[in-house]
Amino acid sequence: MGSIILFGPPGAGKGTQAQRILEHTGQPQVSTGDMLRAALAAGTEVGEEAKRYMDAGALVPDDVILRLIVDRLKEDDAAAGVMFDGFPRTTPQARALDAITEIRAVVSIEVPDDDIVERITGRFTCRGCGTVYHDVHLPLPEGSCPCGAFEELRRADDNEATVRARLATYHQQTQPVATHYEAQGLLHRINGVGHVDAITADILAVLRNV
Ligand SMILES: [Zn+2]
């Protein structure tokens, strides 16, 4: 078996696809955010160490994250591998991960920057009920939210300049990770533009053949 890495820019739909894929593979989804929260809640030694960095407003260093992953991989549900979502983000992280688990496939969900910008900057939420809408893809039905308490909420960091800056960081740091796995013959590129069901089908087709 071995673990799977789901890879792609912010806004590519990794979270949505991860949920759908794990229903088929049974491999648990592992993100660093979830692992940190679980370790903090459980009060483990590595969780306490991570907390000291977070309390100081610092990034949790790679070696601490790697120890979280080592612990996570020892859990019963991870025996056949896991699905990493949002990790590794850098080549040093990828090399460290290679040393602790076998990677079976890396699925890169590819979406052009302009599409990502449109997806993210068009998003807004109804403050009344929490429903997420989109200017183009999921407009308000008949101009308002059926909950009757519509109030538009847009995240301040969902503006074009911020999204383009995040994408620039992604390309600079994370694209070398794609190159790292491509050299090992593990990288599979998926077109992330189109219907969510079609994208899931493409990913599952890749995973059936590795
Ligand atoms: Zn509403």
Residue 89 annotated in active site:
yes
Centre of ligand 1 to C-alpha 197, Å, is: 26
Res 65: pLDDT = 94
Angle CA 150–152–158, to nearest 5: 155
Q: Beta strands 132-134 and 123-126: pairing type? A: antiparallel
SS3 label, residue 83: strand
Task: Give the residue extent of every domain in the chain.
Answer: 3-112+174-208
Res 34: pLDDT = 87
Residue 74 annotated in active site:
no
pLDDT in tens, 165-185: 999 999 998 889 999 999 999
Centre of ligand 1 to C-alpha 150, Å, is: 5
Model confidence at 124: pLDDT above 90: yes
Residue 65's Cα: distance from chain center in Å? 16
Query: Which residue in 20, 51, 89, 189 is the catalytic one?
Result: 89
User: Which CATH number is associated with domain 3-112+174-208?
Assistant: 3.40.50.300
Residue 95 annotated in active site:
no
Interatomic CA distance for residues 18 and 4, integer angstroms: 10
